[in-house]
Structure 1
Amino acid sequence: MRVSHYFEFEDRITGGIAESVAHQRTMLDRVGVEYTTEPTLDADVLHCNLMGPRSVWYAKRARDRGVPVVAHTHVTAEDFGDSFRFTNALAVPLKPYLGRAYGLADALVCPSEYNRGVIADYTDAPTTVISNGVDREKLDGFESLEAEYRERYDLEPPTVFLVGHVIKRKGLETFVNLARELPETDFAWFGPLDLSLKGRETTRLIEESPENCTFTGYIDDVRGAFAAGDVFLFPTHEENEGIALLEAMTAGKAVVVRDIETFDWLEDGEDCLKVSATGTGGRMDADDEIAAFADALRRLRDPDLRERLGANASTRSEAFSLDAIAERYRSLYERLT
């Protein structure tokens, strides 16, 4: 079996999608599936990770030639907004475009059950859920970097942290306001910080953040983030899965998440703390939300609670290891051929 495992715009896109593609290719290597990263119809399966115009062109021709098409549903209109400059405007026409593009697939790979539910409004193409997974080996030895990264960014434990692109959708406003609410606690967001790509509101939040809130920008060794951080705060408003969350769990960090449908598989008080996004009457105002998140973070000043939640999270993350998931791709490809 030979797979055309194509990632359009591969040289321009970073973050979770790029990480997922890297994970997929590692898994294909481990189960012995031959693949090329070039788009070609000289393959048993065409697997497109981003349905840009070139991928759509190849998908249409693959169908004409009887080559099965697999498409990953990394991108939805729901999680495209509040990301970078102009993405809110683009999110409106994106949904019908993706509906047509995803409809070309013989099988769609969704990274979570939540994502599969969203995609049901786009197309009736068959779907299967396969997690993006977590590369546990990538984090090996992260503990040895603790002193270096705490000193580099002047962080005192217990540090509240987040990893990934700094974008509003991931809860930037909540993150900054919590730092303001808890001035005695260090907050650090590890991830690319290119203000030229940010909207006006995102730039303002970053520039006006309090002194105890650090935006590190890109770091060359992501293990340093998990070494310096103690509590992984993920107040994202919309997420397809969240690779950084899986990495934090693998590293044994206590995690605090917004209680949204994406995280239904997590158990509050066992492998995380959840903060409800709604209050009396079905909604929660900003002050109540910050108070609820702050209460969760104050609880996690208790090292015993952090240790218990982190240990449970690490155990839970084992089901998302690349070794645990890899066989699902070979099974999917074989089912289509």
Structure 2
Amino acid sequence: MKVVNIVTQMEAGGAQQAAMNIADVLQKRGYEAEIWFLYMKRPTYQGCRGVRVILNHRPVWVMDYVRILWGLLVLLLKQKPAVVITHTYYANVLGQTAARLAGVRVRLAVQHNPAPTYPRLARWLDLLLGSMFFYTSNIAVSGAAYHSFDNYPARYRERLKVIYNGIPAPCLTLDRENARHRFGLPLKGPIIVNVGRLAAQKNQQLLIKLLKHLSDVQLAIAGDGELKNTLIYEAHTLGVKDRVFMLGEVSPQEIGNFLLAGDVFVFPSHYEAFGFAMVEAMAVGLPVIASDIKALRDVLVENEGKPVGILVHPGNECGFVQAVKSVLEDDLLANSLAESSRARAGMFSLAQMVDSYEQCFLEMTNEAG
């Protein structure tokens, strides 16, 4: 059976990682699984098995989107997949439209962000297609993402369900000292680590501001994006440039080793649907300090109501400073958080996630005859 995952842009991001992970596991289970990116933003997965790119640059005008839609349609008609899984809002809109026109009978749309964060046009088109049953199943990657659609019409929510994201077991080949060597980081002194696109959503400017109050602490960020120069300028302006290490995109295979170089993972995002990077840090066994927002609270708070990390309002700079100090100055607290977060991360396994997707599309395939 051929299963195609379609994602908006190629870059290192949570949705991209989820699609690649799903395809990888399905390939190992005997499926002919591929990943198609609507356009190239960064060559993160170029050359990987089963990867195709429709447009080799970011779309800048309407005809680029027409080319993407036409390219998808032609490729779908040629490849004839039994299942199409689309990830992120533009891939949902363009990919689901092309899949329906191509006669693909099993079409899963995946909502990777809270609905209010979608651009207005994408949100309207997603609402329209979901309400017209273009999606044979509509999947939210977390409870927070699911409930962000609570005010949508019943027709849209009729096919909406939750399949929590999952991560593979971390690939760790180094110890902390060698990890710091590998990534060019100082061998001595505490390091805050963060992983994510350099974008306003991720709130990494707050991380740089923390260094004003933490004179012996360094910051290492793995990621690239449109705010790179802004963050560098902020670090220079605050006089902390020598303690900020911008590593660019780190390959998914090396993220675990990068995280090992740190003493604490700080994740001050303004919004998330799940928080892939945070769960990866938890799996490695790092103490986690994160924004007190619904999606991250859902991951960090156990059923008994006990958090396995420290939650701080994303705008509370002083709160983050105090949280970092408490972790770095109290070994018992740091070790307790590390152990609890590692155990909690086990709840979000890749195998469990793919099992749920597989069950979903096999049931629909059987129903479609």
Q: Which runs of 5+ in 1 are unaligned?
A: 81-90, 278-285
| CA deviation string 1:99-136 (max 9, x = no partner) | 23444201112111101112344533512222221111
Does residue 227 of structure 2 align to residue 198 of structure 1?
Answer: yes
Q: Which residue of 2 aligns with 1:83?
A: none
* Contact preservation (8 Å) 2:115, 2:149: no
Does residue 223 of structure 2 align to residue 224 of structure 1?
Answer: no
* Contact preservation (8 Å) 1:74, 1:240: yes
Q: Which residue of 2 aligns with 1:271?
A: 308
How many residues are aligned here?
308
2:213 to 181, 188, 213: 181
| CA deviation string 1:50-99 (max 9, x = no partner) | 4436414323325xx4712111112556446xxxxxxxxxx233321232
Q: Which residue of 1 aligns with 2:26?
A: 28
Change (3 A) 1:75 1:293: closer
Letter in 1 for 2:107: V
Q: Which residue of 2 aligns with 1:128?
A: 161
Change (3 A) 1:180 1:125: farther
Does residue 304 of structure 2 align to residue 294 of structure 1?
Answer: no
Q: Which residue of 1 aligns with 2:146?
A: 116
Q: Matches of 1:186 and 1:306 in 2, distance apart? A: 17
Letter in 1 for 2:169: R
2:349 to 286, 311, 321: 321
- What TM-score do you get using the length of structure 2 for normalisation? 0.74
Change (3 A) 1:167 1:298: same
Change (3 A) 1:66 1:213: closer
Q: Matches of 1:207 and 1:102 in 2, distance apart? A: 46
Q: Which residue of 2 aligns with 1:16?
A: 14
Letter in 2 for 1:26: D
Q: Which residue of 2 aligns with 1:214?
A: 245
Q: 1:325, CA displacement in angstroms?
A: 2.6
| CA deviation string 1:239-290 (max 9, x = no partner) | 011111111011000000111111232238651111145xxxxxxxx5xx11
* Contact preservation (8 Å) 2:196, 2:202: no
Q: 1:303, CA displacement in angstroms?
A: 2.0
Query: Bigger CA drift: 211-220 or 312-321?
Result: 211-220
Letter in 1 for 2:148: V
* Contact preservation (8 Å) 1:102, 1:125: no
2:137 to 107, 128, 135: 107
Q: Matches of 1:75 and 1:270 in 2, distance apart? A: 23
| CA deviation string 1:151-204 (max 9, x = no partner) | x12253421110122212112222111112212211221222x5xx33986564
Please provide the CA RMSD for this pair.
2.8
Indicate the SS of the match to 2:121: helix
Q: Which residue of 2 aligns with 1:84?
A: none
Letter in 1 for 2:108: V
Query: Bigger CA drift: 32-41 or 167-176?
Result: 32-41
Change (3 A) 1:66 1:225: closer
Indicate the SS of the match to 2:211: helix
Q: Matches of 1:25 and 1:170 in 2, distance apart? A: 27
Letter in 2 for 1:188: A
Query: Bigger CA drift: 213-222 or 242-251?
Result: 213-222
Q: Matches of 1:199 and 1:191 in 2, distance apart? A: 9
1:74-113 equivalence runs, <5 A: 74-75=112-113, 78-79=116-117, 91-103=119-131, 104-113=134-143
| CA deviation string 1:280-335 (max 9, x = no partner) | xxxxxx5xx11111111111012221111111111111121212332112210122
Q: Matches of 2:108 and 2:117 in 1, distance apart? A: 21
| CA deviation string 1:222-244 (max 9, x = no partner) | 23321211100001110011111
Indicate the SS of the match to 1:226: helix
Change (3 A) 1:201 1:94: farther
Q: Matches of 1:76 and 1:264 in 2, distance apart? A: 14
2:76 to 40, 47, 57: 40
1:68 to 83, 106, 110: 106
Q: Which residue of 2 aligns with 1:88?
A: none
Indicate the SS of the match to 1:108: strand
Letter in 2 for 1:307: N
Indicate the SS of the match to 1:224: helix
Indicate the SS of the match to 1:335: helix
Indicate the SS of the match to 1:72: strand
Does residue 363 of structure 2 align to residue 330 of structure 1?
Answer: no
Indicate the SS of the match to 1:7: strand
Q: Which residue of 1 aligns with 2:52?
A: none
Q: Which runs of 5+ in 2 are unaligned?
A: 37-74
Q: 1:48, CA displacement in angstroms?
A: 1.9
2:98 to 35, 38, 58: 58
Q: Matches of 2:116 and 2:228 in 1, distance apart? A: 18
Q: Matches of 1:164 and 1:187 in 2, distance apart? A: 13
